[in-house]
Amino acid sequence: MDGQALAVAGFEQADPAPSSSPSVNERRERRKDRALLRKNVLHGEVVVQTKDGGTTTVAVQRGEVTAIDDSSVTVKSTDGYTATWTFGDKLRVVERRNTVQPSDITPGTQVGVAGAKDGDKYVARLILVPLR
């Protein structure tokens, strides 16, 4: 799963270089749209095409951590949807724009999680603790 797949799901960290320079108003509108997507997405899945022509399912969820241990985190969204995410090999946890360890997250913390869906299991690749 690459950065483009995460960006499609609202976890964009940087804009790719545009082919032409958008106007100031166009940039503002894009930022508003991305912010709206980031703030309002509760959970979901999208199927994206991989570089080798296959597909992968990218899943995202926002909500409150209800449980966490050495290998997984359980998140409950505001609509009641709950999922347990196992930690992937390339997991990155970001809080206040700094990389932290999963053990730094405690129950009750609001997070955004993105990763792959493998069968009926979710594998976290990115956990973001949003700025308040």
What local confidence, expressed as pLDDT, does residue 68 receive?
Answer: 97
Please tell me the predicted confidence (pLDDT) of residue 36. 46
Residue with tokens 């749209």: 33
Quote the pLDDT of residue 29. 60
Model pLDDT, residue 7? 56
- Tell me the domains of the chain and their CATH numbers: 1-132 (2.40.50.320)
Neighbouring C-beta atoms of residue 56, cutoff 10 Å: 15
Q: Which residues of 24-42 are buried (b: 16+ CB within 10 A; e: fewer)?
A: eeeeeeeeeeeeeebeebe
Given a contact cutoff of 8 angstroms between Cβ atoms, the answer to whether 129 and 98 are in contact is no
DSSP reduced 3-state for 91: strand
pLDDT of residue 2: 52
Distance CA 93, CA 102 (A): 6
d(CA 57, CA 48): 6
Q: Can you give the pLDDT of all 132 residues of the chain as single tens digits? A: 555 555 555 554 444 444 566 677 666 665 654 554 466 789 999 898 989 999 999 999 999 999 999 999 999 999 999 999 999 999 999 998 899 999 999 999 999 999 999 999 999 999 999 876
